[in-house]
Structure formats: C-alpha cells, structure tokens
Structure 1
Amino acid sequence: MAKPDLTHLAAPGTVLELRVTPKASRNEIREEEGQIRVYVTTVPENGKANEAVVKLLSKALGVPKSRLTLVRGATSRDKAFRVEG
C-alpha cells in the first residue's frame, strides 16, 4: 500500500491526532474515516513504539523528526503530535 501524502499537514503549529496500533504486521500509515491511523511493528515498551511512529510520521509529512513533538498520549494509543516551526 502506498504511503499517504501528508505534506499538506506539515504547517508549523499543526496538531495531528492519530491512533496507533503497536505490534502490527507492518509499518504503515492510513487515513481511515477521516482519522490518521499508524501501524508499527514495534512493541510498546520504553518509548520504542513512539519512536517508530515519529519516524513514519516524519517521512509522510516530509519534515525532520526533530520538528515533531508528542504533546499528548505518551502511553496511550490515541496520540497528538505538534509540528514545530
């Protein structure tokens, strides 16, 4: 499946609400019913799944990983990331 182009969401200050599924069969991002869903193969321990989400999200947005800040949901499946300027 092709990665969705999320570059239109890469404006500084944008907050992305997404749902994460850890321990998935593959790493991918999907837009389903107006919601961004991120699937990562990594286990959710010691922040490893969050790191994998940042890596995938930065590629889809076309921004460096350092421009993404987790603002809510460090230990939850529902997360919010802010794109920094």
Structure 2
Amino acid sequence: MTPAPTSVWTAAGDDLLIAVRLTPGAAKDAIGGCWVDERDAHWLSARVRAVPEKGRANIALIALLSKRLDWPRSAILLESGDTNRLKRLRIIGGGAAFARLTALLDTWVELT
C-alpha cells in the first residue's frame, strides 16, 4: 500500500515513518488534524502538556502515540526533529499491522 501524496506517513520496509508537528505546553494531550508547510508537505498535528525541556515533550509524544496506536513505546523512535516542532518518527515493525496503523493515522489527519 502506498500513501496518498498528501499523507503524513510513509512505508519504510517493515517500518512506518510518520511526520508530526508537535505543539508542547498545550492544555491537554491530543492528536488530530493536519498542518501543511510551505513546501506542501503534510504533518500530523499533535499536542502534549509536557514542556520542551530535556526531551520531555518528545517523550510525551512517544507515550501518546504508543497509547493511541496500541504499540510498544520501545518500538517508536524519534528519527529527526529532536529540538524542532517538525518531527519524523519510526514505528518499528509497523508493517505487521500496516492497515490498522495507517487507517488510524488517516482518520486523525481528517480531524480538523
């Protein structure tokens, strides 16, 4: 299965790569909606209550994705964007549940 050109996810072998725009210090943890940058790249919007200090917001993002995707935290890695709002995360072994995970991601993007 290949993503639509406007998708926030990409298949990478047995893994899944997700583009996320994170807003730290939010009133509540949430995932939903899509943010489009100046190059027309699409990013899944996520908000966490954690502050962007010492990686706390990144840890909170991984915990939030783990819970919502029902996937082990240890199998979600921050690929890039450690100190940036725009992040790429790798879901290790996501290919095993590809249809379920991508359906969830696509549903979250539609929430605006």
1:65 aligned to 2:73? yes
Say which one has the larger Rg. Answer: 2
TM-score, normalised to structure 2's length? 0.62
Paired residues, number: 76
Listed as ranges, the gaps of 5+ residues in structure 2 are: 1-8, 36-41, 94-112
> CA offset at residue 31 of structure 1?
2.6
CA separation in 2, counterparts of 1:70 and 1:79?
A: 7
Aligned CA-pair RMSD: 1.7
- Greater helix content: 2
Which has the bigger relative contact order, CA under 8 A and spacing at least 6?
Answer: 1
- Structure 1's unaligned 5+ residue stretches are 1-8
Q: For 1:1-85, what aligned pairs fall within 5 Å after superposition?
A: 12-32=14-34, 35-85=43-93
* Percent of aligned pairs sharing the same letter: 37
Shift of 1:32: 2.7
The TM-score, its normalising length taken from structure 1, stands at: 0.81
Given residue 54 of structure 1, which amino acid in structure 2 is its aligned partner?
I
Structure 1 distance, partners of 2:33, 2:67, is 15
